[in-house]
Amino acid sequence: MTTLYGIKNCDTVKKARRWLEERSADYRFHDFRADGLDRAMLERFEAALGWETLLNRKGTTWRQLDDAAKSGVDRAKALELMLAQPSLIKRPVLEYDGAFLIGFDPNRPWPPTPQAT
């Protein structure tokens, strides 16, 4: 089964959910705000995708951080920031059979394979 992780109000997450529903895909949606985000989940994402890929430095939440929070970001600091503010995670994160994808591209092969992560 596919799990799509994100925030329900995110436009990209909405597109991904619509795409999956149009194809009658069997998936579960996990909303970081409503369903939570714990360290173990975030570390699974980070192990598969890398913290640099996972951290959204282009979004509004990142731009609103003060300079001290944005400076000297390493893995540990990035994970703490994402745990405190899940909207700092690029979205959506899709998990299928142990493989992860980040972002949404309707032209990307689906389901993902371990090589596609």
Euclidean distance between CA atoms 105 and 16, whole angstroms: 8
Q: How many CB atoms lie within 10 A of CB 71?
A: 9
List 2, 6, 10, 92, catalytic entry:
10
**Residue 86 per-residue DSSP state:** G
Euclidean distance between CA atoms 97 and 1, whole angstroms: 7
- Is residue 31 a contact partner of residue 86, using CB atoms and an 8 Å limit? no
Q: Is 59 helix (H, G, I), strand (E, B) or coil?
A: coil
**Residue 115 per-residue DSSP state:** G
Active site residue 29: no
- What is the set of active-site residues? 10
